[in-house]
């Protein structure tokens, strides 16, 4: 019988603890302490399945960003990807992931 206990590392390769830490950092800001985020509190008891799904989404985002930046660098006959390639693909990537 398979154990229902989830591994601390998502199948995507991103540790669930990292995803949880990013969520905590996002909601635990100085703005929140000033009252800007009173309506949204972070629930530290997020389900492991939800964290794993988020880790898989983050991995898909990172893989797609990498692929697009590499394709752009190749188009420009560059031997390496740098920050400027990422900056140029990021706006469309964000729109694609938002829709």
Q: Write the pLDDT tens digit of every residue in 61-89.
A: 999 999 999 999 999 999 999 999 999 99
**Low pLDDT (below 70) residues in the chain:** 1-12, 29-44
d(CA 71, CA 78): 10
H-state helical runs in the chain: 16-27, 30-33, 48-75, 83-98
25: tokens are: 């950092």
What local confidence, expressed as pLDDT, does residue 57 receive? 92
Do 25 and 18 form a contact (C-beta atoms < 8 A)? no
């Amino acid at each position: 019988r398979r154990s229902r206990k989830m591994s601390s590392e998502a199948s995507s390769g991103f540790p669930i603890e990292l995803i949880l830490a990013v969520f905590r950092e996002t909601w635990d800001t100085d703005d929140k302490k000033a009252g800007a985020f009173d309506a949204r509190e972070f629930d530290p008891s997020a389900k492991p399945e939800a964290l794993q799904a988020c880790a898989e989404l983050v991995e898909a985002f990172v893989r797609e960003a990498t692929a697009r930046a590499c394709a752009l660098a190749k188009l420009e006959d560059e031997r390496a990807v740098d920050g400027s390639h990422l900056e140029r693909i990021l706006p469309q990537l964000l729109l694609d992931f938002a829709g």
